[in-house]
Amino acid sequence: MQALRFDEGRATVFERIRECVSGPAVETVPLDTAAGRILAEDVCADRDYPPFNRSARDGFAVIAADVQAVPATLDLIGETQAGEPSRFSLERGQTVEIMTGAPGPENADAVVMVEYSQRNGRRVQLNKPIASGRNLIMAGEEVRRGQRVLAPGRRISFASIAVLATVGRSEVPVFRRPEVAILSTGDEVLPVGATPASYQIRNSNAHSLAEQVRRRGGAPKILPVARDTLAETQRLIEVGLKSDLLLLSGGVSMGKHDVVEEVLLGLGTELFFTTVRIQPGKPLVFGYCRDTPVFGLPGNPLSTMVTFEVFASIAVDLMAGASDSPLPFMGVPLAAGFRHKPVLTRFIGARLEGSYTDTRVRIDRGGGSGDVAAFARADCLAVATEDRSEWQAGDLMQVMPL
Ligand code: AMP
Ligand code: MG
Protein backbone atom coordinates (compact mmCIF):
# COMPACT_ATOMS: atom_id res chain seq x y z
CA MET A 1 0.00 0.00 0.00
CA GLN A 2 1.27 3.46 -0.93
CA ALA A 3 2.77 5.66 1.79
CA LEU A 4 0.67 8.80 2.11
CA ARG A 5 1.80 12.36 2.69
CA PHE A 6 0.77 13.94 5.99
CA ASP A 7 -2.08 15.96 4.48
CA GLU A 8 -3.31 13.00 2.41
CA GLY A 9 -3.43 10.86 5.55
CA ARG A 10 -5.41 13.50 7.40
CA ALA A 11 -7.83 13.97 4.52
CA THR A 12 -8.39 10.20 4.35
CA VAL A 13 -9.20 10.00 8.06
CA PHE A 14 -11.49 13.01 7.86
CA GLU A 15 -13.47 11.73 4.86
CA ARG A 16 -13.80 8.15 6.12
CA ILE A 17 -14.87 9.14 9.61
CA ARG A 18 -17.31 11.74 8.34
CA GLU A 19 -18.97 9.03 6.26
CA CYS A 20 -19.64 6.91 9.33
CA VAL A 21 -20.63 9.56 11.85
CA SER A 22 -24.35 10.10 11.99
CA GLY A 23 -25.39 12.69 14.58
CA PRO A 24 -24.37 11.25 17.95
CA ALA A 25 -27.04 11.04 20.66
CA VAL A 26 -27.65 14.10 22.81
CA GLU A 27 -27.49 14.17 26.60
CA THR A 28 -27.80 16.93 29.17
CA VAL A 29 -25.00 17.66 31.64
CA PRO A 30 -24.56 20.18 34.47
CA LEU A 31 -22.94 23.45 33.40
CA ASP A 32 -19.77 22.86 35.41
CA THR A 33 -19.02 19.55 33.68
CA ALA A 34 -19.75 20.76 30.15
CA ALA A 35 -16.34 22.23 29.25
CA GLY A 36 -14.51 20.17 26.61
CA ARG A 37 -17.76 18.55 25.41
CA ILE A 38 -19.33 19.44 22.08
CA LEU A 39 -22.46 21.57 22.22
CA ALA A 40 -25.41 19.76 20.63
CA GLU A 41 -27.96 22.53 20.10
CA ASP A 42 -28.24 26.24 19.36
CA VAL A 43 -28.07 28.41 22.46
CA CYS A 44 -30.03 31.65 22.14
CA ALA A 45 -30.14 34.75 24.33
CA ASP A 46 -33.01 34.60 26.85
CA ARG A 47 -33.18 38.42 26.94
CA ASP A 48 -31.38 41.45 25.57
CA TYR A 49 -27.71 41.91 26.54
CA PRO A 50 -27.07 44.02 28.35
CA PRO A 51 -30.58 43.67 29.74
CA PHE A 52 -30.64 47.37 30.76
CA ASN A 53 -28.62 50.46 29.84
CA ARG A 54 -25.52 49.49 31.81
CA SER A 55 -22.84 51.85 33.00
CA ALA A 56 -19.34 50.66 32.14
CA ARG A 57 -17.70 53.14 34.53
CA ASP A 58 -18.03 54.78 37.91
CA GLY A 59 -19.01 58.37 37.21
CA PHE A 60 -21.91 60.58 36.18
CA ALA A 61 -24.71 59.66 33.79
CA VAL A 62 -25.42 62.57 31.46
CA ILE A 63 -27.12 63.73 28.31
CA ALA A 64 -23.97 64.04 26.17
CA ALA A 65 -25.22 67.24 24.55
CA ASP A 66 -24.88 68.90 28.00
CA VAL A 67 -21.16 68.08 28.16
CA GLN A 68 -19.76 69.51 24.94
CA ALA A 69 -18.37 72.86 26.15
CA VAL A 70 -16.32 72.20 29.29
CA PRO A 71 -16.23 72.71 32.16
CA ALA A 72 -19.95 71.91 32.24
CA THR A 73 -21.82 72.21 35.53
CA LEU A 74 -24.85 69.95 36.07
CA ASP A 75 -27.41 69.45 38.85
CA LEU A 76 -26.93 66.18 40.73
CA ILE A 77 -30.36 64.58 41.24
CA GLY A 78 -29.38 61.27 42.82
CA GLU A 79 -27.26 58.11 42.82
CA THR A 80 -27.69 54.58 41.43
CA GLN A 81 -25.60 51.58 42.48
CA ALA A 82 -25.17 48.23 40.75
CA GLY A 83 -27.96 45.90 41.84
CA GLU A 84 -30.67 48.52 42.22
CA PRO A 85 -33.17 49.75 39.65
CA SER A 86 -32.84 53.21 38.16
CA ARG A 87 -35.30 55.61 39.79
CA PHE A 88 -34.40 58.67 37.74
CA SER A 89 -35.10 60.36 34.47
CA LEU A 90 -32.70 63.10 33.31
CA GLU A 91 -33.75 66.48 32.07
CA ARG A 92 -31.31 68.82 30.32
CA GLY A 93 -28.74 70.10 32.79
CA GLN A 94 -29.11 67.16 35.20
CA THR A 95 -26.87 64.22 36.14
CA VAL A 96 -27.02 61.07 38.30
CA GLU A 97 -24.02 59.62 40.09
CA ILE A 98 -23.65 56.05 38.87
CA MET A 99 -21.52 52.98 39.55
CA THR A 100 -20.15 50.37 37.13
CA GLY A 101 -22.85 47.80 36.39
CA ALA A 102 -25.72 50.07 37.47
CA PRO A 103 -28.65 50.95 35.18
CA GLY A 104 -28.50 54.42 33.67
CA PRO A 105 -31.33 56.92 34.26
CA GLU A 106 -33.87 57.44 31.50
CA ASN A 107 -32.65 59.85 28.77
CA ALA A 108 -28.96 59.43 29.71
CA ASP A 109 -26.76 58.53 26.73
CA ALA A 110 -23.26 58.65 28.24
CA VAL A 111 -21.31 58.34 31.49
CA VAL A 112 -18.49 60.76 32.34
CA MET A 113 -15.80 59.01 34.39
CA VAL A 114 -15.46 60.16 37.99
CA GLU A 115 -11.82 61.07 37.22
CA TYR A 116 -13.06 64.01 35.08
CA SER A 117 -15.42 65.44 37.69
CA GLN A 118 -15.47 67.77 40.69
CA ARG A 119 -18.37 67.62 43.06
CA ASN A 120 -19.65 70.64 45.00
CA GLY A 121 -22.69 69.56 47.03
CA ARG A 122 -25.63 69.17 44.58
CA ARG A 123 -23.59 70.53 41.66
CA VAL A 124 -21.05 68.56 39.60
CA GLN A 125 -18.47 70.09 37.30
CA LEU A 126 -17.44 67.87 34.37
CA ASN A 127 -14.12 68.68 32.76
CA LYS A 128 -14.03 66.54 29.62
CA PRO A 129 -16.41 66.62 26.64
CA ILE A 130 -18.14 63.32 25.96
CA ALA A 131 -19.70 61.67 22.91
CA SER A 132 -23.14 60.09 22.99
CA GLY A 133 -22.88 56.36 23.77
CA ARG A 134 -19.61 56.52 25.73
CA ASN A 135 -19.43 54.30 28.83
CA LEU A 136 -23.13 53.48 28.71
CA ILE A 137 -23.93 50.21 26.93
CA MET A 138 -27.50 50.35 25.74
CA ALA A 139 -29.91 47.45 26.32
CA GLY A 140 -29.56 44.91 23.50
CA GLU A 141 -26.43 46.59 22.12
CA GLU A 142 -24.35 43.39 22.48
CA VAL A 143 -26.97 40.71 21.82
CA ARG A 144 -30.70 40.79 21.08
CA ARG A 145 -33.14 38.48 22.82
CA GLY A 146 -33.55 35.29 20.76
CA GLN A 147 -30.27 35.80 18.88
CA ARG A 148 -28.00 32.74 18.68
CA VAL A 149 -25.01 33.09 21.00
CA LEU A 150 -23.46 29.61 20.63
CA ALA A 151 -23.62 27.22 17.69
CA PRO A 152 -23.68 23.42 17.92
CA GLY A 153 -20.65 21.40 16.84
CA ARG A 154 -18.16 23.54 18.73
CA ARG A 155 -16.17 22.50 21.77
CA ILE A 156 -17.33 24.22 24.93
CA SER A 157 -14.53 26.51 26.12
CA PHE A 158 -14.35 28.48 29.34
CA ALA A 159 -15.66 31.46 27.41
CA SER A 160 -18.62 29.35 26.20
CA ILE A 161 -19.21 28.46 29.86
CA ALA A 162 -19.46 32.20 30.59
CA VAL A 163 -22.06 32.56 27.81
CA LEU A 164 -24.07 29.56 29.03
CA ALA A 165 -24.05 30.88 32.59
CA THR A 166 -25.03 34.37 31.41
CA VAL A 167 -28.12 33.10 29.58
CA GLY A 168 -29.14 30.91 32.50
CA ARG A 169 -28.26 27.42 31.27
CA SER A 170 -27.44 25.37 34.35
CA GLU A 171 -27.98 22.25 32.19
CA VAL A 172 -26.27 21.99 28.81
CA PRO A 173 -27.18 19.79 25.82
CA VAL A 174 -24.04 18.01 24.59
CA PHE A 175 -23.33 15.07 22.33
CA ARG A 176 -22.76 11.73 23.98
CA ARG A 177 -19.09 10.91 24.42
CA PRO A 178 -17.91 8.19 22.02
CA GLU A 179 -16.41 5.24 23.87
CA VAL A 180 -12.81 4.77 22.74
CA ALA A 181 -11.16 1.42 23.48
CA ILE A 182 -7.42 1.62 24.08
CA LEU A 183 -5.46 -1.55 23.52
CA SER A 184 -1.72 -1.61 24.11
CA THR A 185 0.27 -4.50 22.73
CA GLY A 186 3.67 -5.89 23.67
CA ASP A 187 5.15 -8.77 25.67
CA GLU A 188 7.40 -6.26 27.45
CA VAL A 189 4.59 -3.92 28.53
CA LEU A 190 3.32 -4.09 32.14
CA PRO A 191 0.59 -2.19 33.99
CA VAL A 192 1.77 0.98 35.75
CA GLY A 193 1.36 -0.54 39.22
CA ALA A 194 3.51 -3.59 38.44
CA THR A 195 7.21 -3.93 39.25
CA PRO A 196 8.98 -4.43 35.92
CA ALA A 197 12.02 -6.65 35.43
CA SER A 198 15.03 -4.93 33.82
CA TYR A 199 13.82 -5.86 30.32
CA GLN A 200 10.22 -4.78 30.87
CA ILE A 201 8.58 -1.36 30.70
CA ARG A 202 5.44 0.20 32.10
CA ASN A 203 2.45 0.98 29.90
CA SER A 204 2.58 4.72 29.33
CA ASN A 205 0.71 4.75 26.01
CA ALA A 206 -2.65 3.63 27.39
CA HIS A 207 -2.61 6.49 29.88
CA SER A 208 -1.38 9.28 27.61
CA LEU A 209 -3.94 8.17 25.01
CA ALA A 210 -6.72 8.10 27.59
CA GLU A 211 -5.97 11.71 28.46
CA GLN A 212 -5.76 12.73 24.80
CA VAL A 213 -9.12 11.05 24.18
CA ARG A 214 -10.70 12.76 27.19
CA ARG A 215 -9.47 16.18 26.06
CA ARG A 216 -11.29 15.65 22.75
CA GLY A 217 -14.57 14.73 24.41
CA GLY A 218 -14.25 10.92 24.18
CA ALA A 219 -14.67 8.36 26.96
CA PRO A 220 -11.54 6.19 27.12
CA LYS A 221 -11.78 2.52 28.03
CA ILE A 222 -8.39 0.99 28.74
CA LEU A 223 -8.22 -2.73 27.90
CA PRO A 224 -5.66 -5.17 29.32
CA VAL A 225 -2.31 -5.25 27.48
CA ALA A 226 -2.28 -7.81 24.63
CA ARG A 227 0.68 -10.19 24.48
CA ASP A 228 2.27 -10.35 21.02
CA THR A 229 0.41 -13.47 19.94
CA LEU A 230 -2.17 -13.71 17.19
CA ALA A 231 -4.71 -15.34 19.52
CA GLU A 232 -4.52 -12.85 22.37
CA THR A 233 -4.26 -9.82 20.10
CA GLN A 234 -7.32 -11.02 18.18
CA ARG A 235 -9.31 -11.72 21.35
CA LEU A 236 -8.69 -8.25 22.75
CA ILE A 237 -9.23 -6.50 19.41
CA GLU A 238 -12.64 -8.18 19.29
CA VAL A 239 -13.39 -6.74 22.74
CA GLY A 240 -12.25 -3.31 21.55
CA LEU A 241 -14.46 -3.46 18.45
CA LYS A 242 -17.51 -3.24 20.73
CA SER A 243 -16.55 0.39 21.45
CA ASP A 244 -17.20 3.24 19.01
CA LEU A 245 -13.52 3.54 18.11
CA LEU A 246 -10.49 1.32 18.74
CA LEU A 247 -6.97 2.65 19.28
CA LEU A 248 -4.12 0.14 19.31
CA SER A 249 -0.59 0.97 20.26
CA GLY A 250 2.45 -1.02 19.16
CA GLY A 251 2.83 -4.04 16.96
CA VAL A 252 2.48 -2.25 13.62
CA SER A 253 6.15 -2.18 12.53
CA MET A 254 8.03 -4.78 10.52
CA GLY A 255 9.19 -6.87 13.52
CA LYS A 256 8.57 -10.61 13.68
CA HIS A 257 6.13 -10.13 16.57
CA ASP A 258 4.28 -7.15 15.14
CA VAL A 259 1.01 -8.98 14.61
CA VAL A 260 -1.57 -6.19 14.67
CA GLU A 261 -1.92 -5.75 10.92
CA GLU A 262 -2.14 -9.50 10.34
CA VAL A 263 -4.86 -9.88 12.98
CA LEU A 264 -6.82 -6.92 11.62
CA LEU A 265 -6.69 -8.33 8.09
CA GLY A 266 -7.76 -11.74 9.42
CA LEU A 267 -10.81 -10.07 10.94
CA GLY A 268 -11.72 -8.63 7.54
CA THR A 269 -10.54 -5.08 8.17
CA GLU A 270 -10.66 -2.67 5.27
CA LEU A 271 -7.36 -0.78 5.57
CA PHE A 272 -7.17 2.74 4.14
CA PHE A 273 -3.48 3.22 4.83
CA THR A 274 -0.63 1.51 6.66
CA THR A 275 2.15 4.10 6.24
CA VAL A 276 2.26 7.87 6.38
CA ARG A 277 5.44 9.80 5.60
CA ILE A 278 5.76 11.45 8.99
CA GLN A 279 8.14 11.18 11.89
CA PRO A 280 7.61 10.09 14.54
CA GLY A 281 5.13 7.52 13.47
CA LYS A 282 5.70 6.26 9.94
CA PRO A 283 3.92 2.92 10.35
CA LEU A 284 0.38 4.02 11.08
CA VAL A 285 -2.60 1.86 10.32
CA PHE A 286 -6.12 3.13 9.76
CA GLY A 287 -9.13 1.12 8.68
CA TYR A 288 -12.62 -0.10 9.43
CA CYS A 289 -13.15 -3.43 11.08
CA ARG A 290 -16.77 -4.58 11.30
CA ASP A 291 -17.93 -0.96 10.99
CA THR A 292 -15.67 0.25 13.80
CA PRO A 293 -12.85 2.63 12.91
CA VAL A 294 -9.48 1.30 14.07
CA PHE A 295 -6.10 3.00 14.37
CA GLY A 296 -2.91 0.99 14.82
CA LEU A 297 -0.57 3.59 16.30
CA PRO A 298 3.15 2.88 16.51
CA GLY A 299 4.23 1.90 20.03
CA ASN A 300 7.05 4.33 20.70
CA PRO A 301 5.53 6.71 23.22
CA LEU A 302 6.21 9.88 21.21
CA SER A 303 4.94 8.22 18.05
CA THR A 304 1.77 7.18 19.85
CA MET A 305 1.16 10.66 21.24
CA VAL A 306 1.97 12.51 18.02
CA THR A 307 0.03 10.20 15.69
CA PHE A 308 -2.99 10.46 17.97
CA GLU A 309 -2.72 14.24 18.04
CA VAL A 310 -2.45 14.68 14.27
CA PHE A 311 -4.55 11.73 12.98
CA ALA A 312 -6.69 9.79 15.46
CA SER A 313 -7.84 13.02 17.12
CA ILE A 314 -9.88 13.72 13.98
CA ALA A 315 -11.92 10.57 14.63
CA VAL A 316 -12.56 11.41 18.29
CA ASP A 317 -13.51 15.01 17.44
CA LEU A 318 -15.97 14.05 14.72
CA MET A 319 -17.42 11.13 16.66
CA ALA A 320 -17.88 13.41 19.67
CA GLY A 321 -20.02 15.67 17.45
CA ALA A 322 -17.54 18.36 16.40
CA SER A 323 -18.26 19.71 12.94
CA ASP A 324 -14.57 20.04 12.10
CA SER A 325 -11.14 19.05 13.41
CA PRO A 326 -8.55 21.62 12.36
CA LEU A 327 -5.00 21.66 13.73
CA PRO A 328 -4.11 24.96 15.40
CA PHE A 329 -0.98 25.78 13.37
CA MET A 330 0.71 29.17 13.52
CA GLY A 331 3.94 30.50 12.10
CA VAL A 332 6.62 31.40 14.68
CA PRO A 333 10.22 32.54 13.93
CA LEU A 334 12.88 29.99 14.81
CA ALA A 335 15.33 30.76 17.61
CA ALA A 336 18.09 28.84 15.78
CA GLY A 337 18.55 27.29 12.33
CA PHE A 338 17.22 23.81 11.61
CA ARG A 339 17.94 21.16 8.96
CA HIS A 340 16.45 17.77 8.23
CA LYS A 341 16.32 15.15 5.50
CA PRO A 342 13.25 16.19 3.56
CA VAL A 343 11.56 12.86 2.88
CA LEU A 344 9.24 12.89 5.85
CA THR A 345 7.23 15.59 7.56
CA ARG A 346 8.68 15.81 11.04
CA PHE A 347 6.88 16.80 14.22
CA ILE A 348 9.39 17.90 16.79
CA GLY A 349 8.76 18.77 20.41
CA ALA A 350 9.75 22.43 20.81
CA ARG A 351 9.46 25.32 23.23
CA LEU A 352 8.17 28.83 22.78
CA GLU A 353 10.36 31.50 24.31
CA GLY A 354 10.79 35.25 24.40
CA SER A 355 8.02 37.70 25.12
CA TYR A 356 4.69 38.56 23.56
CA THR A 357 6.40 41.14 21.37
CA ASP A 358 9.12 38.73 20.21
CA THR A 359 8.13 35.05 20.40
CA ARG A 360 10.53 32.44 19.06
CA VAL A 361 10.38 28.69 18.85
CA ARG A 362 13.37 26.64 20.00
CA ILE A 363 13.82 23.08 18.81
CA ASP A 364 15.88 20.85 21.04
CA ARG A 365 17.54 18.08 19.07
CA GLY A 366 18.13 14.79 20.75
CA GLY A 367 15.47 12.98 22.68
CA GLY A 368 14.44 9.97 20.59
CA SER A 369 10.89 8.76 20.08
CA GLY A 370 11.01 6.94 23.42
CA ASP A 371 12.19 9.92 25.48
CA VAL A 372 8.96 10.92 27.21
CA ALA A 373 10.77 13.13 29.72
CA ALA A 374 12.26 15.29 26.93
CA PHE A 375 8.90 15.43 25.18
CA ALA A 376 7.11 16.45 28.36
CA ARG A 377 9.26 19.61 28.42
CA ALA A 378 7.92 20.67 25.00
CA ASP A 379 5.00 23.06 24.82
CA CYS A 380 4.40 22.77 21.09
CA LEU A 381 5.13 20.61 18.05
CA ALA A 382 7.20 22.29 15.34
CA VAL A 383 6.58 20.99 11.83
CA ALA A 384 9.46 20.46 9.40
CA THR A 385 7.68 19.73 6.14
CA GLU A 386 8.87 17.09 3.68
CA ASP A 387 9.47 19.63 0.90
CA ARG A 388 12.13 21.72 2.64
CA SER A 389 15.48 20.82 4.15
CA GLU A 390 16.74 23.98 5.81
CA TRP A 391 15.47 26.85 7.93
CA GLN A 392 17.57 29.79 9.14
CA ALA A 393 17.22 31.47 12.52
CA GLY A 394 14.31 33.89 12.19
CA ASP A 395 12.54 31.87 9.44
CA LEU A 396 8.94 31.11 10.22
CA MET A 397 8.16 27.55 11.17
CA GLN A 398 4.64 26.26 11.71
CA VAL A 399 3.98 25.16 15.28
CA MET A 400 1.03 23.60 16.99
CA PRO A 401 0.52 24.17 20.74
CA LEU A 402 0.33 20.99 22.81
P1 AMP B 1 6.38 -1.44 18.79
O2 AMP B 1 5.63 -0.39 18.01
O3 AMP B 1 5.49 -2.49 19.35
O4 AMP B 1 7.51 -2.00 17.96
O5 AMP B 1 7.03 -0.70 20.01
C6 AMP B 1 7.98 0.32 19.80
C7 AMP B 1 8.61 0.72 21.11
O8 AMP B 1 7.63 1.30 21.94
C9 AMP B 1 9.20 -0.42 21.90
O10 AMP B 1 10.39 0.02 22.49
C11 AMP B 1 8.15 -0.70 22.93
O12 AMP B 1 8.69 -1.29 24.08
C13 AMP B 1 7.58 0.65 23.19
N14 AMP B 1 6.19 0.53 23.62
C15 AMP B 1 5.25 -0.22 23.01
N16 AMP B 1 4.08 -0.14 23.65
C17 AMP B 1 4.28 0.68 24.70
C18 AMP B 1 3.43 1.17 25.75
N19 AMP B 1 2.15 0.79 25.82
N20 AMP B 1 3.95 2.02 26.65
C21 AMP B 1 5.24 2.41 26.54
N22 AMP B 1 6.07 2.00 25.60
C23 AMP B 1 5.62 1.13 24.67
MG1 MG C 1 5.66 -4.25 20.28
- Predicted local confidence at residue 109, as pLDDT: 98
- Predicted local confidence at residue 368, as pLDDT: 75
Phi and psi, residue 84, nearest 5°: -125, 155
- Radius of gyration from C-alpha coordinates of the chain: 29
State which residues of the chain have pLDDT below 50.
none
- Predicted local confidence at residue 83, as pLDDT: 98
- Rounded CA gap, 306 and 308, in Å? 5
Q: Strands of 41-106 (E only): list them.
A: 43-44, 54-55, 59-62, 72-80, 94-98
- For ligand 1, atom 3, name the residue with the nearest CA: 250
pTM of the model: 0.92
- Predicted local confidence at residue 367, as pLDDT: 66
Residues less than 5 Å from ion ligand 2, measured at CB: 186, 250-251, 299
Whether residue 280 has its Cβ less than 6 Å from ligand 1: no
- Do the beta carbons of residue 55 and residue 160 sit within 8 Å? no
- For ligand 1, atom 10, name the residue with the nearest CA: 300
Distance 257 CA to ligand 2 centre (A): 7
Whether residue 376 has its Cβ less than 6 Å from ligand 1: no
What is the pairing mode between strands 72-80 and 94-98?
Answer: parallel
- Predicted local confidence at residue 366, as pLDDT: 67
- Predicted local confidence at residue 20, as pLDDT: 87
Phi and psi, residue 177, nearest 5°: -75, 130
Distance 242 CA to ligand 1 centre (A): 24
- Predicted local confidence at residue 24, as pLDDT: 86
Cα dihedral value 227, 228, 231, 232, nearest 10? 20
- Rounded CA gap, 172 and 176, in Å? 12
Ligand number nearest CA of 205 is 1
